[in-house]
Amino acid sequence: MSQPLNLVVMLGGPSAEREVSLRSGAAVAAALRSRGHQVTELDPLSPAWTLPPGTDAVFLALHGTYGEDGTVQRQLDALAVPYTGCDAESSRVAFDKVLTKQACVSAGVPTAKFIVVNSANTPWPAGWQPPVVLKPVRQGSSVGLQFVDDVAQWPAALAAAIQFDSEVLVEEKIVGRETTVGILAGTALPVVEVRPKQGVLDYQNKYTPGATEYFVPADFDGLTTQKIQAAALGAFQAIGGRDYARVDVMVRPNGEPVVLEVNTLPGMTATSLLPKAAAVVGLDYARLCERMVELARQRTGKPAVTGPEKGNHVAL
């Protein structure tokens, strides 16, 4: 039986990903309550939010700006309250796609060729050939994502992407299989392959039920699987990650992985990708949520909230 804790789940918030965050947070809160904990749901739409007295830990189910860019982490650090996931600095780095790229390059982690533009009037980059992908530098969950398969599409795509941030990452489009790797307690979880039924993995396909198929563990040979997991773990370490994250990795036809980005607060509904991967190694959804709280509390010297459970296949 768990030692009951007073927990706060922060969900919603002011970002473009508010609706997804509300779903993540509601699922997390229900899971933690099922484990016997007292849970308060807190939507930080106002900067004047306060935590209930006696809060043991905060579970961050926020996505996008404010939640993933280090802002709320700095506020919680100032309150000296343990919270789930990466710290303020690694969150800031991971949320900025350019800083993540630079960290990966410095660490020798494979990533796609890129440049940065900061004006909607920027001409097509000299020496580049389509296809390319345009991403707002500081947004998440495919917000503002644009694909350019022909130079004629460049002006409209750039104008659309730059609405969401002052800088846009221009990246070579990697042709291959799309995967994601959950990291939990310093361990890479089984690889998940993501296959949209039509088109590409944009915001609509990501959040429309039935629009995308997921395969876990992904059907790669052992060596390729190890390469994908090593690249994901390398990116997580390069940005200074802690506790958990989800790393998106493209896999070229020759089996070589290419890291796209690190998601420090990945989706946490019961059907999200990190929970899918954890389930494969014997960690059910409610226990996964509780494990994330344990990792946060361990930094304060607090004991784990539960002991080993029958049926868990790995010690994560």
CATH number of the domain residue 55 falls in? 3.40.50.20
Per residue, the 3-state secondary structure of the chain, as one string, reads: CCCCCEEEEECCCCCCCHHHHHHHHHHHHHHHHHCCCEEEEECCCCCCCCCCCCCCEEEECCCCCCCCCCHHHHHHHHHCCCECCCCHHHHHHHHCHHHHHHHHHHHCCCECCEEEECCCCCCCCCCCCCCEEEEECCCCCCCCCEEECCHHHHHHHHHHHHHHCCCEEEEECCCCEEEEEEEECCEEEEEEEEEECCCCCCHHHHHCCCCEEEECCCCCCHHHHHHHHHHHHHHHHHCCCCCEEEEEEEECCCCCEEEEEEECCCCCCCCCHHHHHHHHCCCCHHHHHHHHHHHHHHCCCCCCCCCCCCCCCCCC
Q: Is 62 a domain residue? A: yes
pLDDT at 308: 39
For residues 271-289, give the mean pLDDT: 96
In a domain, 285, yes or no: no
Residues 144 and 54 in one domain: no
Same domain for 25 and 74? yes
Integer Cα distance of 17 and 157 in angstroms: 21
Residue 294 reports pLDDT greater than 60: yes
Same domain, 129 and 254: no
Q: What is the pLDDT of residue 142?
A: 76
Mean pLDDT of 246-274: 95
**What's the pLDDT at 114?**
96
Q: Please check whether residues 78 and 189 belong to one and the same domain.
A: no
Based on the fold, state whether residues 124 and 222 are members of the same structural domain.
no
Whether residues 78 and 20 share a domain: the answer is: yes
**Whether residue 211 has pLDDT greater than 70:** no
Q: Output the pLDDT for position 304.
A: 62
Position 226 in a domain: yes
Say what the pTM is: 0.90
Per mean pLDDT, which range of 101-115, 167-181, 185-199, 218-232 is the poorest? 185-199
Whether residue 204 has pLDDT greater than 70 = no
Averaged pLDDT of the chain: 91
Give me the amino acid identity at 28: V
Q: Name the residue range of residue 138's domain.
A: 114-172
Active site residues: 17, 141, 207, 246, 248, 261, 263, 267
- The count of structural domains within the chain is 3
Based on the domain organization, do 118 and 208 belong to the same domain? Answer: no
> Is residue 310 pLDDT above 70, yes or no?
no
d(CA 201, CA 269): 18
pLDDT of residue 146: 95
Q: What is residue 309's predicted lDDT score, i.e. its pLDDT?
A: 43
* Pair (124, 231) in one structural domain: no
Residues 159 and 196 occupy one common structural domain: no
In this structure, the answer to whether residues 15 and 70 fall within a common structural domain is: yes
- Looking at the domain assignment, is residue 272 inside a domain? no
What band does 315 get if pLDDT is binned at 50, 70 and 90? low
In a domain, residue 153? The reply is yes
